[in-house]
Amino acid sequence: DAKTTQPNSMESNEEEPVHLPCNHSTISGTDYIHWYRQLPSQGPEYVIHGLTSNVNNRMASLAIAEDRKSSTLILHRATLRDAAVYYCILLDSGAGSYQLTFGKGTKLSVIP
């Protein structure tokens, strides 16, 4: 399985943008880049995903490098409710099983 590398932790001030980086240098052509987040005492929650182009939804934006070896999850205005562990995961659409393999993720702290 292709692997991702994320910082262990990051901090952000409330109402400021947050850029969460992810490196995936061994990504293959059929790998989708997925982001999930896990709030305290809850199961992981889908945030966003993309293949090649940048993506936006109501929760966040995903910026994908042209060579696809890295990506950045962007929270436009961090709130206290965004404090969570964020996981960057490669999902192989060619494998058929669509299994999510989680790393340790990035723990985001939001400072009031």
Partner 1 sequence: EAGVAQSPRYKIIEKRQSVAFWCNPISGHATLYWYQQILGQGPKLLIQFQNNGVVDDSQLPKDRFSAERLKGVDSTLKIQPAKLEDSAVYLCASRNIRQAKYGYTFGSGTRLTVV
| Residues of this chain that bind partner 1 (CB under 8 A) | 32, 34, 36, 41-46, 49, 85, 87, 91, 93, 97-105
Q: How far is the CB of 97 from partner 1 (least distance, A)?
A: 6
Question: Closest approach of Cβ 2 to partner 1, in Å?
Answer: 15
- Closest approach, Cβ 102 to partner 1, in A, equals 3
For residues 90 and 67, what is the distance between their CA atoms, to the nearest angstrom?
Answer: 15
| SS3 of the chain: helix, strand, coil, percent, to 5 | 5, 45, 50
Using the minimum distance from each CB to partner 1, give the nearer residue, 14 or 45.
45
Which tokens sit at 82?
Answer: 């965004």
